[in-house]
Amino acid sequence: MGEMVELSDDHFQSLARTAMARGQTPQTLLAQMIDALPPRGARRVYETEDWFRHLGATEEQIAESARLAREEWDEMARADA
């Protein structure tokens, strides 16, 4: 056995509910979550659309942003021609 971790009742209930929904024990879920943590000092890199989602943009906003970027790119290409 290893070390013990104390959680508030609310945190444990949240962990237990999530684990149950996934067919896991709270211990297994917590171990998986810890194993999925990035290495210390690692930086997460987002693709542009994922970054917008991370910031809370809707799919419609992302599509509009992509459309505007394409238009701008096309205008720059025409100006260089």
**pLDDT mean over 56-71:** 93
The whole-angstrom separation of Cα 9 and Cα 6 is 9
pLDDT in tens, 9-63: 999 999 999 999 999 999 999 999 999 888 887 777 778 898 899 899 999 999 9
pTM for the whole structure: 0.49
**Rounded alpha-carbon distances, angstroms, from residue 40 to 3, 10, 37, 53, 56:** 21, 28, 9, 24, 26
Domain boundaries of the chain, sorted by first residue: 7-36, 48-80
Q: Which residue, among 49, 76, 45, has the nearest Cα to 60 in the 3D structure?
A: 49
